[in-house]
Amino acid sequence: MTQPYRPDPVFIDEQQAKAPPMATFARWFGTAKDLVGFPANAMSLATVSPDGAPDVRIVLLQAIVEQGLVFFTNFNSMKGKHLRHNTKAAACFHWPSLGRQVRLRGDVHAVEDDYADRYFEGRPRGAQVGAHVSAQSSIIESRAQLLESLRQADLQFAERPVPRPPHWSGLRLVPTQIEFWQDGTDRLHDRLLYLRAGDDTGWSVDRLAP
């Protein structure tokens, strides 16, 4: 049986560890995109409900910015409600074909309206209309009823551009912790943990045992 492609592990040496962690993340993400394409964008996002129950789901990373990682969602969804109550979240990327994982923790903030508007304008029209129709995470009567609502909304916006609904926008995870994990022989994985105390402070870095 042909084994899946995996390059030899390229560990982060002490000199490379001094680079800003978001620059290292962008480099790792670019390598994953080159190898597997769009699935590299899959990001597990963990939030906490008001009663303290953890929850996790896959979202899609849409942009890497200086301040963090951007994804888009319905603010009335379960994750949106969780993040209104508690802005702290955790995320994880796993790229098995590279033997790599990145874990992040930090605070989540809404992106600026004009940023969200520009992104929304670039979405396929069907997805734009769907953002108006789907009350994400809520109980619906049936699939047929959902599709009928979509048809009605499509008619409503037939003669004009679809505006971004106010409940749909982008969120930016601004990390205060980033861990890079590289698969190693005999399970001696390479792990680097970056920490920062606040937006205006630099990053510290420690190497962790596997």
CB 136 within 8 A of CB 106: no
Residue of 28, 193, 63 lying closest to 203 (CA atoms): 193
Catalytic residue status for 191: no
Catalytic residue, chosen from 105, 187, 196, 207, is 187
Q: How many CB atoms lie within 10 A of CB 68?
A: 21
Cα gap 93→199, rounded to integer Å:
23
| Distance, CA of 85 to CA of 17 (rounded, Å) | 35
Question: What is the spatial distance between Cα 22 and Cα 178, in angstroms, rounded to a whole number?
Answer: 9
Question: Would you say 88 and 48 are in contact if contact means Cβ atoms under 8 Å apart?
Answer: yes
**Would you please indicate which residues are annotated as catalytic (active-site) residues?**
187
